[in-house]
Amino acid sequence: MLRERGWTVHRIGEVFSSDGQEISDEEWIAHGLDQGWVPLSKDGRIKTRDHEIEPVLIRSAVLFYLDNQQLRSGEMVERLDVCREAIHRAVARGGPAAYAVRANRIDRTWP
């Protein structure tokens, strides 16, 4: 649905076999960052796990996560699209940083 709204999306299952089940979070994050992609996670705890956030820190990158894992797909898409300009501005500012994507804004939550 994000692609239908003009977003460029690289799903983990399109890059890694078995929908990425055999690759660690830090590996897929590092791979995406090395491609120039901006990671998006549904798991906000990712910023509290040193080994998972390390690729963001090393590369001075930016990561986004949805602040509510219980959202339906359409709600996730709407939330991201509403925050699109704020997300673009945060990416342009650079990192290292992690941002929670909320209903109508993003909040920097790390470091």
| Radius of gyration, alpha carbons of the chain | 13
At residue 72, the pLDDT reads 94
Give per-10-residue mean pLDDT for the chain (111 aa): 94 80 88 94 86 94 93 94 97 97 96 93
At residue 54, the pLDDT reads 95
Q: 12 lies in which domain range?
A: 3-110
Number of structural domains the chain divides into: 1
Residues in the chain: 111
At residue 24, the pLDDT reads 87
- From the list 29, 30, 107, the residue with the least C-alpha distance to 66 is 107
Q: Structure tokens of 11? A: 């799903």
C-alpha distances (whole Å) from 104 to each of 31, 56, 58, 87, 100 are: 29, 24, 29, 11, 11
At residue 107, the pLDDT reads 97
At residue 45, the pLDDT reads 85
Dihedral sign from CA coordinates of 90, 82, 28, 71: positive
Q: Structure tokens of 42? A: 């549904």
pTM of the model: 0.89
